[in-house]
Each structure stands twice: as C-alpha cells, then as structure tokens.
Structure 1
Amino acid sequence: MTQSLRALLIASTAAAGMAFAGAASAETMKIGITQNNVGVDSYQTTYEKAFIEAADANADVETVVLDAGGDVARQIAQMEDLIQQEVDAIIIWPTNGEAVIPAVRKAHNAGIPVIVTNSNIAEQGFDFVKSFSGPDNITQGKRSAEIMCDKFKEMGIENEAQVVHITGQPGYTTAIERAKGFDDRLPEVCPNVTQIDKQPGDWNREKSQKVMEAFLVKYDDIDGVYAGDDNMGVGALNAAKAAGRDGIIFVGATNFAVGYEAMERGEYWGSIYQSPVDDAKAALKTAVAVLNGEEVPFLNYFDTPKITQDNMAEFDKPVF
C-alpha cells in the first residue's frame, strides 16, 4: 500500500468516525420537565431526585429539570422556554390542571410530545397530550373510602359515623380527583355515614392542623377524617391529639413516612401506598417510549394499593 493511499484510508476512517459520532449525538433524547412545587413536600423532593438519577443512568437521555414553585405563570414561562430550546419531549407536573392547557397546546403545535406526570390536566386539554403517567387518583379516593367504611363496620358505627374531609390544593387535579373518588364511593359502601364538612388543607401539614382545630371546635362528634394525603392527615391528627379528642379514625392517601410512623404507633388507621420513585421512573420511561415510537396507553397508571395497620408489615416504610 502506498503512503498516499494509507493516508487517504486513515482520513476516510476518521471522517466516517466523526459522522457516526454526530449521528449518535443527534439520537440523544433531550427531555424537559417542569414540576409543580418541589419545596412543598418530601414526595416531590424525592420524585425530583429519582427522576434525575433515572435520567443520568440512561446514556440516551439529556434532561432539562425545572420547578415552577407552585406558580402557574412561572410554569407557563418554563413551558415556553422548553419549546424555545426545541427539546424532544416535555414532561409537565401541572400546577393547575386548567391554566396550563394553552402552554401544553403550544408545545403540541410545535411538534413536541407532552407527557403529563402525577396529576393530570383538565379533560379539555387531553387532545394535546401524548400520555398521562401516574396514579389513578379517583381510584385512590375510592379505596380510601373503602378503608374508612370497613373500619367503621368493624367498630359497629357504620350507621351513625360522621366524617370530615381535608382536601388538597384547590384547582389541582389530584385534589379534585381524590375528593371525587372519596365522595362518590363512601355513600356506596357506607350509605348511612355522613360527611359533615370539607375544607382545603393545600397539601400543607400546618394549615391542615388549623383546619382540623376549627372542625374540632365546630363539631362535638367526629368519627373519621379523610385527608387527600398523609402530610395533611398527620396535621389533622396532631390537632386531635392536642385537643385530647381520642377515637377518631384517620385515613389518608400517598403514604408518607410520617403517616407510616403514626400507623405504627396505632394513631393513624390507613392510607394508599404510592412511591415517588416509581412515579418519577414511570414518567421518564413513558417519555422515552413515546420518543422511540412505541405505543403507550393514554392513561398510563401504576398501581397504588391500600395500606392499613393490619397489612402495613407487607410494605416498606416510605423514603419521603
């Protein structure tokens, strides 16, 4: 082989290698996520950490991780920023299920598939969404109602019990759906149980404690409390303990570590087991599947089983 031919082959091989490297980098999926409010509770903090770890473990994925801090206007601006960056897909954990729809539509019109995570947007925005990945919140509410009813029946008070209800943040789809599931199912399984009041706790333990304090002043007879998550449920429990009101059955959803610990102490009866790690991994997996051209269900739910003092030994203590 002549020197010039050898040089030509080396140059050609190098050029081919550069072209291949360019093609490989072009195949990297750039996925943006705008979250609801990472600072509001340990579930969202754990979700973000798990999402970043799952993305880092996938060599084909590059991520832009944003947090709206509970501010709808900021989340809309973040959606527009991700569109400008020409990401390949956007994952959104909506701050408000209706208010974000125009921004989701804008991404859809720009040819960017949108995956909604954890809490769905309102139904009128479904045409602009590729898939929802998360828990079935209406089913969670129904299961919480069943947990409470079963306990009332065990206690023999299913024909007279009175319940108060602490919901999540108003306008937030998870809060709306869990409340609906509970409100629809409780009369079906325990038709003589009365729900005497309902107030928002905004996913906040301190606010929920104040809501419960007001309930305790207003009502002499409260047999059960349903809270849209354990953070709020434990706030309500703390109010009852401080007031010396015993015998109240507390049921929540999204079993937090504080809820699990209160169950261990025998103070809190039951909840719905939901992992933020599973939630985060499912969202990323759904986005990757969409970008790979795979068929994914529009409602891509993962299971969230009932957990009570009776079966809690079957579940690991939550990490959030």
Structure 2
Amino acid sequence: MRFAPLIIGAGVSVLALVGCSAGEGGSGEGAGHTVGATTYSRSFEFYQDIETGMDEEAAGEIEYRFQDPNGDLAAQTAEIEDFVSSGVDLVTMVPIDSDAAEAAGRMVTDAGIPLITVDIAITADVGQIAHIASDNHEGGAVAADKMNELLGGAGEVVVINNPAITSVVDRETGFTDRLAEVAPGISVVASQSGDSEREQAQAVAEDLLQAHPGVTGIFAVNDEMALGALQAVIAAGREDTISIIGFDASSEGIAEIASGDSAFKATVAQDPVEMGRTVTRTALAVLNGEDVDADIPVPVTLVDDTNHTEYAQ
C-alpha cells in the first residue's frame, strides 16, 4: 500500500478515474460481469494505480463499479451494502481497518458473493476467496538488509508503524525478524504508530528522537510516514547522523533519494498497476468457476541510490 498523497491538478486521466466514484463503471461498459470495487482512498496515488491496472486488464470482460470511501470506514460499509443490494457478481475490497472490516466482509460472503481483498487483509476468515497484496514481509526483510548496510551492523533503530493495517504489520515483522537474524548489533528500541499520516508521524518521530537520542536509523512502514519522520530529523539537525527507510517508492520519496544529501536513504517499491491487473485476472478466474490461490503475493524491490532513476516519476 502506497501512502503518498498525490496532488491532483486538472489531469484528464485522473479525473476520468475519479469519475467512477459515484457508482459508474470503468472500462467494460456492457461487460458480462459487474464487480463492485471499494478502495482505501484515492488521495493516495498507490490506490489510483491499482484501479488503473484493474481497469486496463478488464478489457471489456468486467464492468467495474469503483467506489472511494476516502479512508472512512462507515462510507466503505455503505458502499458494500450498495454492492450487495444491487447484486454485483463479485466484490473487491481494500479494507480500511483489518479488524473492523469483518462485518462488511461477512455481508458480502453471506450474500453468496465472492470477495477478494486487495493490499490490506481482513483479520478474520469471513469466507474471502483470495487476498492479493505485495509480499510485505519480504519487503520488510529487504529494508532490514539495507538498514544493516547503512548502519554498518550497529546502532539503534525506531519503527513508525500502523498496527490497524495487516499489510504494514507484515512489513514491520519482516523488518524486525530479518534485522535480528543478520544484525544482532542493531537494536529496535521503540515502535510506535504514526496512523499513516505525515504530521502524526512527524510528531511521533520528534518524541522518539528525544526519548532515544542514540537513534541512527528509522524504518517507517510507508513513505508518507517516512517523509514525516524526515521533517523531524531535519528539525533536530540530524540529517547527517540518521538514515531513514520508507516503503512504497512514492514520487516524493524517490526525489529525496535522488537528491543525494537527504536522510531518506531507501524505500521499497511495490507494483500497484500489476497488483490491479492481478486482481482482474483473479476475479475473471473466479467468475469463470476456476480455482485460485488464497494468497497471491506481488513481488517488491528495494530502491536506493543505485537504481532510483528506474522508479522516478
């Protein structure tokens, strides 16, 4: 999941995508299958890219009814209710809260409608047929390898997380597990939620830096919070002594890496367009009566000063 807000201007392609938010279909008008799709929030470019991949892969076989709850759990539940009452053939869902989404998920499956979760999982088994997401655990592991390299195998690290979202919990677990394995000289001295918000992450980072003055590394489970942590590091005058690693390869994160003098040293790239294509391929398989894997991971890649130009936007 890429938490990097996109500043939306008058771009026609973005407006065309957002135009589906009132229950209108994407490409595939008149298609044989109607799929209700509720995202997390289109204020994040990551979720726009997932919808782009879904729509491109549909190729006239699926009519998507894209909905954007904009991070509001009640709005997402209302969207699910609408999908169920209108009798869509399948529902795809990026749960806003992994625990709280259980009721909405059961609403879908109790109605006999197949449910695919995307990027963020529902904690409970509600009968969802598949979950499609980046290999978040592996992403955390490659971030740990990079942190070990940056810190030379010794130092103190803090993690800025968001425990309400399973995908980013997996990132933290992958990071801490790998760090313990390859870098016993590096200690994770604190882990605290930044609620996936830049300002909140900045405040959290400020507090953590005061509480742990020996910190030399920060891992944030998405770039939005990594960028907030960067502001705290700059304010503390510690850009030369702290290394920050994010997750999502957002345009702002890549720009920081490209600058060559930022504390923001690396990020983990997901492939949201490919994730969206995978969602559509999986949905079509389900609708055609085929068996699919319960968990479908999408590969991730570390982005740093050696390859950032490949990911520049």
Bigger mean CA offset, 255-264 vs 58-67: 58-67
Q: Which residue of 1 aligns with 2:148?
A: 149
CA deviations 1:213-268 (Å, max 9, x no partner) are: 22233332221000001121122112212221122111111111111111111222
Distance 2:191 2:148 in 1: 18
**One-letter amino acid of the counterpart of residue 274, structure 2:** D
Give the TM-score of the pair, scaled to structure 2: 0.83
Distance 1:235 1:26 in 2: 44
1:191 Cα deviation after fit: 1.2
- Secondary structure of the residue aligned to 2:215 is coil
2:222 to 192, 211, 229: 229
Mapped pair 1:217 → 2:216:
no
- Secondary structure of the residue aligned to 2:81 is helix
Q: Which residue of 2 aligns with 1:274?
A: 270
Distance 2:30 2:198 in 1: 46
Calculate percent identity across the aligned residue pairs.
30
Checking the alignment, whether the CA contact within 8 Å between 2:248 and 2:268 is kept in structure 1 is yes
Unmatched segments (≥5 aa) in structure 1:
1-24
1:183 Cα deviation after fit: 2.1
Give the TM-score of the pair, scaled to structure 1: 0.82
- Bigger Cα Rg: 1
From the superposition, tell whether residues 244 and 111 of structure 1 become closer, same or farther in structure 2 (CA, over 3 Å): same
1:308 Cα deviation after fit: 1.8
Checking the alignment, whether the CA contact within 8 Å between 1:38 and 1:48 is kept in structure 2 is no
- Root-mean-square deviation (CA, aligned residues, Å) is 2.0
Distance 1:223 1:195 in 2: 11
1:148 Cα deviation after fit: 0.7
1:247 to 220, 241, 244: 241
Q: Which residue of 2 aligns with 1:312?
A: 308
- Secondary structure of the residue aligned to 1:65 is strand
Q: Which residue of 1 aligns with 2:292?
A: 296
Distance 1:215 1:103 in 2: 36
1:104 Cα deviation after fit: 1.7
- Structure 2 counterparts to residues 98-177 of structure 1, below 5 A: 98-122=99-123, 124-125=124-125, 128-153=127-152, 158-159=153-154, 161-168=155-162, 170-177=163-170
Checking the alignment, whether the CA contact within 8 Å between 1:134 and 1:282 is kept in structure 2 is no
Q: Which residue of 2 aligns with 1:7?
A: none
Checking the alignment, whether the CA contact within 8 Å between 2:31 and 2:62 is kept in structure 1 is no
**One-letter amino acid of the counterpart of residue 304, structure 1:** V
Distance 2:299 2:191 in 1: 27
Q: Which residue of 1 aligns with 2:22?
A: none
CA deviations 1:53-99 (Å, max 9, x no partner) are: 544xx212111111222222322222121111110110000011122
Checking the alignment, whether the CA contact within 8 Å between 1:250 and 1:269 is kept in structure 2 is yes
- Secondary structure of the residue aligned to 2:195 is coil
Checking the alignment, whether the CA contact within 8 Å between 2:31 and 2:60 is kept in structure 1 is no
1:26 Cα deviation after fit: 8.8
Unmatched segments (≥5 aa) in structure 2:
1-28
Mapped pair 1:31 → 2:35:
yes
1:103 Cα deviation after fit: 2.4
Mapped pair 1:47 → 2:50:
yes
- Secondary structure of the residue aligned to 1:108 is helix
From the superposition, tell whether residues 26 and 222 of structure 1 become closer, same or farther in structure 2 (CA, over 3 Å): closer
1:105 Cα deviation after fit: 2.3
Aligned residues: 282
Q: Which residue of 2 aligns with 1:3?
A: none
**One-letter amino acid of the counterpart of residue 271, structure 1:** T
1:208 Cα deviation after fit: 1.4
- Secondary structure of the residue aligned to 2:231 is helix
From the superposition, tell whether residues 27 and 244 of structure 1 become closer, same or farther in structure 2 (CA, over 3 Å): closer
